[in-house]
Structure 1
Amino acid sequence: MFPYFCLLIVTSFCAITEPFYKKQKSIKCILLSCFIVLVLFSGLRYDVGMDYLSYKTWFLSGRGFSEQGFILLTRIFRSLGPTIGFNFFVFIIAAVTLYGAYRFIYKYSSAPLLSLFIFFCFGQYFISTLNLIRQELVIYVFLGCLLPLIIERHFIKYTLCIATCSYFFHYTALILIGIYFLDRHFSAIIKLSGIALITISSPIIIYLIENSDYAVYLKLDIFVAKVTVLQYYLLALSVIIALLYFKCFQGKPMTKKDILFENINYINILFGIMIIMFSNTPIIQVISRLSYYTMPIYIILIPNFISRLSLRSNRLIFRYAFILLYTLIFLVAITTNGKLQHYVPYHSIIF
């Protein structure tokens, strides 16, 4: 657990001292240095994450994946040798994933070091890259490299990139095609109608499942999941962000980027409502995994709204409040679920 605490200390120190750096170039160098450390931490790990040994078994056997492109990649890396090939494979996946996260933060965050800290501390972000490696790679390639294609309206390029990610890494990436159409303004009536539709239809869907041949799955504990405190927190956060968008941009023009991020936040509200409505059913697991594609938006939205505060004292208060909050979230998560999710103890291929 010691390596995680070291990273926590480093990233929190960077986030605390960021307001006192005079040059943006210094912040960029610190951000890049921290991400290099994270790449080494993630890429050189051994048997960290519940899926690590499963991926190694699948890598060596060439089986276990639905995506044919991913099977092809494992064959290419396996030609380097079973051990060296797999280690190199894990390192490259980590490097590409974290490069996407770096680009996302550097390009869109007004406080990159605070974004880095949030990225490290929240379990669905950096820690998940140690486990859900294929989906997390797609998520951060999308956020770091493909968002400009939406803003600049390159539909064919964007669709081809998503299709490539789906073929080589994770089929669920195809849902990201729908994100392309979120760079336009939707009225409050449309958004409230969407929330009402989700709220009303969810009990109907559960009723239909209960009276179908699939009802047996609702009674199996292995498929059932409950709503966690963090999921309630994310829903509350998404609602607060929506209200901040309304307050800050009411009657003011919005850029395509702002509209896109506001609509992604709205999608998170819908995900949050569905997660609560489908609590204690197998559906919650599917919705939770799909929500991973859009939840990282708060890595940049939290710092961006803090930066919009007019008074420096208020900006510092909110910054340090979120640093404290995410420190507590990280400590609780790593101490209660670290061993369960096989994140601790940390092992490396070099020691």
Structure 2
Amino acid sequence: MVPYLCLLLLIALGALMEDSILKDPNQRKVWIFFCFIFLVIIPGLRFEQGIDYFAYRASYQSAEGGEFELGFYLLMHLFIQLGASFPVFIFGITLVTMVLLVRAMELNTNWLFFGLLVFLSKFFTYYAMAGTRQFMAFPIAWLAIAWLCRGSTLRFFILVAIASLFHASSLIILPLYWFRRTAYTPMRFWLILGIAIICRFLNSILLQPVVNSVPFLALRLGGYLLDTSDGINKLNLIENLGFLLVALILRPRLKDRVLYYDFFLMMLLLFFSFFIVGSNIAIIKRLRDYFLLSYAVLIPAFGYAFKEGATRLFYKIAIVSYFSFLFIRSLIVYDSYSVFGQMIPYKCVLFQ
């Protein structure tokens, strides 16, 4: 548990100091460096932890691609041809992915450390420790979104195509192209929610036939349709709805102060809409999580609706504490199900 807590402490403190001590460029670089080291080492040097570990190790040792996307298959065979062991392969792809993650957060939000805290609480255990291919696709897709916001549609489409070579689910961000200059309006809000509610009642009828009708999607995503859980996570529902309502309430005060506020507000709405469509279907979760980037942009910005002082500081402490709690909760939850591979205690390949 200690390595996880050290990582959490570094990133949480970074998020708290982001607008004060870490405004100094040199101190900021040092803090980023230490956070980065822990972000790479913990998932990169894990040993037999995570649902993906044994399956990927078997494929790597047998040099079989299975049903992997082309990009991952070629990358795996590059490491095999270089004579690298499986732990070296995991470390190598983790290193590259974390470099891309930090860069994606820097381009998308002014609050890098809070962005990393969102990643830690929402993605670390499920993807960095247990979903290698999609873990690689996320930062590439978020880089694509950053360039879309800057008006470079060519880079957007190229990066989405690259991300899809590691996990086909990344294609879900393509519709954002039409949202890049879309201002929020109540009509669009209710239209999107209405479509989501209709889709919730139709997904059992339409989702599988639609996916199965496209061979590429059927091969890459079809298996996730069979992976479901019972009911709705009430904590997630309350959280998603709460942040969406706050974003709507504060929009008049923040839309001109936060760059691309409406774009990320629409992303947050799409994220909540996916939750409505089918929170108990694995593929829906995997699709909607690309839109969680909106958390990293909007939630720290909410604090700027308050004047500098005790109120803003209290808000910052509250959200950092909440997302820190989510990270600890995720470790405990995934550790309690043997199918995910035990997360606690942490096992490092260097000490086996």
TM-score of the pair, normalised by structure 1? 0.83
Aligned residue identity for 1:239:
L
Is the 8 Å Cα contact of residues 227 and 282 (structure 2) preserved in structure 1? Answer: no
CA distance in 1, matches of 2:207, 2:172: 23
After superposition, give the CA deviation of every residue in 1:238-268 in whole Å (9 maximum; x if it has no partner): 4224314533257x5975x333212211211
Is residue 68 of structure 2 the alignment partner of residue 71 of structure 1?
no
Judge conservation of contact 2:134–2:167 (CA < 8 Å) in 1: yes
- Is 1:325 aligned with 2:328? no
Structure 2 counterpart of 1:153: 151
Q: What count of residue pairs does the alignment treat as equivalent?
A: 330
Distance change >3 Å, CA 165–CA 12, structure 1 → 2: closer
Distance 1:181 1:115, change over 3 A: same
Q: Write the deviation string for residues 258-306 of structure 1: whole angstroms up to 9, x where unpaired.
A: 3321221121121122135xx5xxxx22211111111133123211222
Can you give the 5+ residue segments of structure 1 that lack an aligned partner in the other structure? 215-219
Taking structure 1 as reference, are residues 124 and 264 closer, same or farther at Cα in structure 2, changes over 3 Å only? same
- Residue 155 of structure 1 aligns to which amino acid in structure 2? T
2:247–2:298 CA contact under 8 A, matched in 1? no
Q: Distance in 1 between matches of 2:146 and 2:296?
A: 17
State the alpha-carbon separation in 1 of the partners of residues 68 and 329 from structure 2: 35
Residue in structure 2 matched with residue 217 of structure 1 by the alignment? none
Give 3-state SS (helix, strand or coil) of 1:265's partner.
helix
Q: Alpha carbons of 1:263 and 1:87: their partners in 2 closer, same or farther (altered >3 Å)?
A: same
2:312 to 315, 330, 335: 315
| 1:125 Cα deviation after fit | 4.4
Among all aligned residue pairs of Structure 1 and Structure 2, give the percentage whose two residues are the same amino acid.
23
Q: Is the 8 A contact 1:238 1:269 kept in 2?
A: no
Q: Which residue of 2 aligns with 1:163?
A: 161
Distance 1:317 1:73 in 2: 46
Question: For residues 177 and 147 of structure 2, what CA distance do their matches in structure 1 show?
Answer: 9
Do the aligned partners of residues 221 and 172 (structure 1) sit closer, same or farther apart at CA in structure 2, a change above 3 Å counting?
closer
Change (3 A) 1:76 1:273: same
TM-score (norm 2): 0.82
2: CA distance, partners of 1:17 / 1:157: 33
Assess if the C-alpha contact under 8 Å between 2:65 and 2:73 holds in 1: yes
- Distance in 2 (CA, whole Å) between partners of 1:70 and 1:103 is 21
Counterpart-to-counterpart distance in 1, 2:71 and 2:108: 31
**Contact 2:193–2:273 (CA under 8 A) maintained in structure 1:** yes
Residue 131 in structure 1 maps to residue 130 in structure 2: yes
Please name the residue that 1:190 is paired with. Answer: 188
Does residue 236 (structure 1) correspond to residue 250 (structure 2)? The answer is: no
- CA gap of 1:44–1:115, structure 2 versus 1, over 3 A, is same
Q: Write the distance in 1 (CA, Å) between the matches of 2:329 and 2:187.
A: 39
How far off is 1:78 after superposition? 0.8
